[in-house]
Amino acid sequence: MKIVDEKEFAAANVFGKGADNVAYAQYFIGQSFLKPLTQAGDPIAISNVTFEPGCRNNWHIHHASKGGGQILICTAGEGWYQEEGKDAVSLAPGMVITIPANVKHWHGAKKDSWFSHLAFEAPGEELSNEWCEPVDNAQYDALEEGNE
């Protein structure tokens, strides 16, 4: 369900919005928020990531020589996920996206909805993240227009 009103979204966002995502702001178009749910040293890193309407991250790759990748569990609002060379997937609460290591992708909110997902960083070997180019406005707007 799309949620434009921030107060309504806050009630639906069961893990909470978190703090401004300052450390990664350069890799996002729009404002995002981050709320870590596990501690450093835990076996799996899990964070709740919240995107304001229209916010999305840049294309990026979770590299690993073995294992790795990312799992997204959508929890509130509506968003998008897209792998390079594939059609975008409309995201809604309850959906699970499994992103293999070494796959270029992006994710974020629809332009008329707040959006949150839990992000699980899968354990692996030789893990690193590569941030790539932004999802440009023309590409993003065409997605929205074609899938309303």
- Give the integer Cα–Cα distance in Å for 74 and 91: 7
Cross-strand bridge partners of residue 31: none
Cross-strand bridge partners of residue 109: 79
- Per-residue pLDDT reduced to its tens digit, 6-16: 999 999 999 99
* CB environment 81-116: b (16+ within 10 A), e (fewer): bbbeeeebeebebebebebebebbbbbbbbbebbbb
- Per-residue pLDDT reduced to its tens digit, 36-45: 999 988 999 9
Confidence of residue 148 (pLDDT cuts 50, 70, 90): very low
C-alpha to C-alpha distances, 15 to 11, 35, 50, nearest whole angstrom: 10, 8, 10
Confidence of residue 63 (pLDDT cuts 50, 70, 90): very high
Neighbours of 147 (CB within 10 A): 12
Confidence of residue 144 (pLDDT cuts 50, 70, 90): low
In this predicted structure, the answer to whether residue 56 has a pLDDT above a threshold of 90 is yes
69 phi and psi angles, rounded to 5 deg: 95, -170
- Per-residue pLDDT reduced to its tens digit, 75-122: 999 999 999 999 999 999 999 999 999 999 999 999 999 999 999 999
Give the predicted TM-score (pTM) of the model: 0.93
- Give the integer Cα–Cα distance in Å for 1 and 31: 20
pLDDT at 146: 53
Q: How does DSSP assign 31-72, residue by residue?
A: -EEEEE-S-TTSSSEEEEEEE-TT-EEPPEEEE-SEE--EEE
pLDDT at 145: 57
Q: What is the mean pLDDT of the chain?
A: 95
CA 40 to chain centroid: 20
